[in-house]
Amino acid sequence: MAALLELENLHTYYGQIHALKGINLTVNEGEIVTLVGANGAGKSTTLRTISGMVKARLGTVKLAGKDINGGRPHDIAALGVGHVPEGRRIFPLLTVRENLEIGAWNVKDGNLIKSRIEQMFNLFPRLRERTFQKGGTLSGGEQQMLAIARALMADPRVLLLDEPSMGLAPVLVEAIFDIIVQINREGKTILLVEQNALMALEVAHRGYVLQTGEVVLNDSAKSLLTNDMVRKAYLGES
């Protein structure tokens, strides 16, 4: 498989805090890759650095071989990086449809926008029922669906998902992960940050374990699920 996203020796700082300490990571075309680690390990910082929300001080972020490190967020998005941040960040005063239309900011063809909205409604039937409802009145699960759908409207080459199950009821967590698998089966490459390590590893092809800004382990998701350190530290086994 060809590498779509490559991080090489990535160092990111928040002021004097050294958040990422030489991260090396690869996401191949068509994969789901997950980042596993405790709070503060650097998972969200990794996604924020890729999408340009935080600038790396050292290292490279390559998308299909092109170094995008240091680019402005909207330029990186235009190259094909879709980022669904932690906390969803939808536009609460706009309707579901308006949120989706904003997601297609890079599309000039009105018919294509309509076609993509229809695709999103097929993928997320609950959103169709809420077409003209304001985003802020949706449930947490519906807002997460809307955040993912909005990112997909730009047809990104790689989708960065940050804690998609946070704060959701278990039945909705399963629904969100089913959708993630479906999106991937339809050809979308995904880099997933998720506190629920068990669910993330069950849907991913490969995983990286982060501790205090460093990759300490990377392997197939199947192997990580049986790794003693992972099971004790992140899967709640004694």
Which residue range forms the structural domain that includes residue 26?
3-234
What confidence tier does 61 reach under pLDDT thresholds 50, 70, 90? very high
pLDDT at residue number 66: 95
Strand partners, 95: 134
What confidence tier does 170 reach under pLDDT thresholds 50, 70, 90? confident
Instruction: Assess whether pLDDT exceeds 70 at residue 238.
Output: no
Q: What CATH number is given to the structural domain containing 16?
A: 3.40.50.300
Phi, psi for 180 (deg, rounded to 5): -60, -45
Question: Any residues with CB less than 8 A from the CB of 137 and at least 6 apart, and which?
Answer: none
> In the predicted model, what is the mean pLDDT of the chain?
94
How many distinct structural domains can be found in the chain?
1
Phi, psi for 138 (deg, rounded to 5): -75, 160
What confidence tier does 86 reach under pLDDT thresholds 50, 70, 90? confident
Alpha helices, DSSP H, located in 28-139? 43-50, 73-79, 96-103, 110-123, 125-129
- Residue range 150-175: average pLDDT? 92
Q: Which amino acid is at 209?
A: V
pLDDT at residue number 87: 78
Instruction: Assess whether pLDDT exceeds 90 at residue 237.
Output: no
- Whole-model pTM: value is 0.94
The rounded distance, in Å, linking the Cα atoms of 79 and 92 is 27
The rounded distance, in Å, linking the Cα atoms of 49 and 47 is 5
pLDDT at residue number 88: 76
Strand partners, 214: 211
What confidence tier does 114 reach under pLDDT thresholds 50, 70, 90? very high
